[in-house]
Amino acid sequence: MAGTPYGKHTRDALGTFATVMVTDSAALDIARALLDGELAAIDAACSRFRPDSELTQVCAASGRPVPVSPLLAEALSVALTAAKITGGDVDPTCGRALVSLGYDRDFTLVRPDTSAPRQPPIRSWGGWRGVKLSAAGRQVTVPEGVLLDLGATAKALAADRAVAAIAATAGCGALVNLGGDISVAGPPPEGGWLVGVADGATFDTTTASVESSQVIVVRDGGLATSSVLGRSWRRGRTQLHHIIDPRTGLPARPYWRTVSVAARSCVDANTATTAAIVRGERAVNWLDRLGLPARLVRQDGAVVTVAGWPSAEGTG
């Protein structure tokens, strides 16, 4: 993050970092409390690793309809919409594929284990169509044997929800950054929020050590970055990452190292970045047709920008 003249707080959350900034430093305590509440709620509703989470209980219901909270219903709706608008490239039913690749617990525990995979790849292509959310959003049915993973879209949703609550309650401009999923609301600071975009951030990168490749200006909406570097681990002789191609049940071919997208919301931006990683080279024309400003970085470091993303490094 570049430019921090106002109230700011960063802490660990959801297996990554959570930063909140407000244009009125007197509102920082309120902002922190609202963000903490949102993060706790989204974790309790959507965590794949908590045996007591709503998501775990829904997936364990053996295909029976299960009543759900409004928050989990919203998170499921967001995830299913992401699947629909990306033609299934962003599929929330990839949980078993991730488990088969060793991502079956908190990521800090995944990386030290370099043993060979013990299961064949598990394809989830089209699996999202079998998840049924009632029209009223009061109950959900997950097919037996399906394990949901809402990681990406749920984190982006938390950023959007938290920043909206902070701006409305505190009456000032606010920015929330959850591990690179950024959402802003309320009156921005003069000149806008200055946001650094990083190409080479890994899981061990901290907010203090991250090196920005470009600084852009964000005044509203959301900005998301997806990368094959951040959650990367080894099983046997194979290097893996967490963005699954539902067609194969394997990590998407790493054509892009990093993709950043600006959109109307963090959810929209995150959906686009995840789909772009899966689509590889085809993502450029797709993002351009949608008019989504994007910055895509190839494995060799070459940068491609589309739809009006600032091309000059260091400018917004």
Query: CA nearest 48: which of 131, 121, 104, 126?
Result: 104
Residue 201's domain is classified under what CATH number?
Answer: 3.10.520.10
Residues ≥6 apart with Cβ < 8 Å to 277: 226, 228, 243, 252, 254, 256, 259, 283
The answer to the question of residue 316 being in a domain is: no
- Per-residue model confidence as pLDDT tens digits over 204-234: 555 666 778 899 999 999 999 999 987 888 8
Mean pLDDT for all residues in the chain: 91
Residue 316 is predicted with a pLDDT of: 39
Q: In the chain, which residue ranges form alpha helices assigned H by DSSP? A: 28-46, 54-59, 70-85, 95-100, 107-110, 151-170, 266-279, 283-290
Residue 4 is predicted with a pLDDT of: 47
With bands split at pLDDT 50, 70 and 90, how would you rate the model's confidence at 2?
very low
Structural domains counted in the chain? 1
Residue 239 is predicted with a pLDDT of: 85
Question: DSSP secondary structure string, 85-121?
Answer: HTTTSS-TT-HHHHHHTT--S-HHHHTT--PPPSS--
The answer to the question of residue 225 being in a domain is: yes
Classified as helix, coil or strand, 303 is: strand
Can you say whether the dihedral through the CA atoms of 291, 281, 104, 147 is positive or negative? positive
The answer to the question of residue 119 being in a domain is: yes
The answer to the question of residue 1 being in a domain is: no
- Per-residue model confidence as pLDDT tens digits over 42-95: 999 999 999 999 999 999 999 999 999 999 999 999 999 999 999 999 999 999
Looking up tokens 């959402």, which residue turns up? Answer: 183
The answer to the question of residue 292 being in a domain is: yes
Classified as helix, coil or strand, 178 is: strand
Residue 212 is predicted with a pLDDT of: 84
Residue 200 is predicted with a pLDDT of: 73
Residue 39 has pLDDT above 60, yes or no: yes
Quote the domain boundaries for residue 55: 7-306
Residue 80 is predicted with a pLDDT of: 98
Residue 182 has pLDDT above 60, yes or no: yes
Averaged pLDDT for residues 305-313: 85
Residue 266 tokens read as: 């963090």
The answer to the question of residue 311 being in a domain is: no
- Per-residue model confidence as pLDDT tens digits over 239-293: 888 899 999 999 999 899 999 999 999 999 999 999 999 999 999 999 999 999 9
Query: CA nearest 75: which of 97, 49, 55, 99?
Result: 55
The answer to the question of residue 315 being in a domain is: no
The answer to the question of residue 98 being in a domain is: yes
Residues ≥6 apart with Cβ < 8 Å to 255: 280, 281, 298, 299
With bands split at pLDDT 50, 70 and 90, how would you rate the model's confidence at 29?
very high
